[in-house]
Structure 1
Amino acid sequence: MSVALSMGLETVLYHGYEATGDVTGFPNIGTYLIFGVILVPIYIMVISWFAGEPRDTKTGLLGVSYLVGIAAQMWIGMFILTVIIGLVFYGGMPEPLGAAGPSNDSPIFGFL
């Protein structure tokens, strides 16, 4: 009975979504939308720092370093949070680091 209940809970939690075949996050449509459309104003801003008048290369490089630092902080923080959530609630590392798909020996199903 415990196995049947566990499989039933997995069906409810995962809603039939399968693993993305070791490409979680890339190169799905959201990636193209974010980097190709939404970030266009940022691209224009960075290009204008170096191609516009008056040019100040030192300030432009400072701005680029700020943008890289903020982006790295967000991506690294979310990566660490994703790993913690995967370990605590799903019993293993997320898909690019661990096995694809749901795990039957997850701690969330351990009480069943």
Structure 2
Amino acid sequence: MIPGVYAATTWLATNLLFLFQDYHGDGSVAGFPGPGTWLVFGVILVPVYVMLLAWFLGNPRDVRTALLGTGIFFGLIVLLWTAMLIQTLLIGVIFY
């Protein structure tokens, strides 16, 4: 693990506790960060990281198209994360 990333995610988890539900009864925070988070971002997304690097470092290089693809890619990620956040908040309001 990278110490700076671990410290940042731990700070986020401790300061944004209202976004997480704790079902364990031992005071632990369910959700982010956990071993699954490191597995997803560190192992499963390696092909995505390689794709992004290839857009900028591969031949032939077209920076404008690479930036357009990167913008669309990150736009979709923001859209999905925002939808999941809203859905989580709605579930919390409706069921809890």
| Structure-2-length-normalised TM-score | 0.70
Matched, 1:61 2:64: no
Q: Runs in 1 of length 4+ with deviation above 6 angstroms?
A: none
5+ unaligned residues in a row in structure 1: which ranges?
Answer: 1-15, 91-112
Distance in 2 between residues matched to 1:26 and 1:54, nearest whole Å: 39
| Structure-1-length-normalised TM-score | 0.61
Q: Secondary structure at the match of 1:35?
A: helix
Cα RMSD, aligned residues only: 1.4
Q: Spell out the pairing of 1:11-50 with structure 2 (5 A cutoff).
A: 17-18=24-25, 19-21=27-29, 24-50=30-56
Give the counterpart letter for 1:62 in structure 2.
Answer: L
Normalized per residue, which structure has more helix?
2
More relative contact order in 1 or in 2 (CA 8 Å, sep 6+)?
1
> Number of residues paired by the alignment?
73
Identity of aligned residues (%): 47
Larger radius of gyration: 1
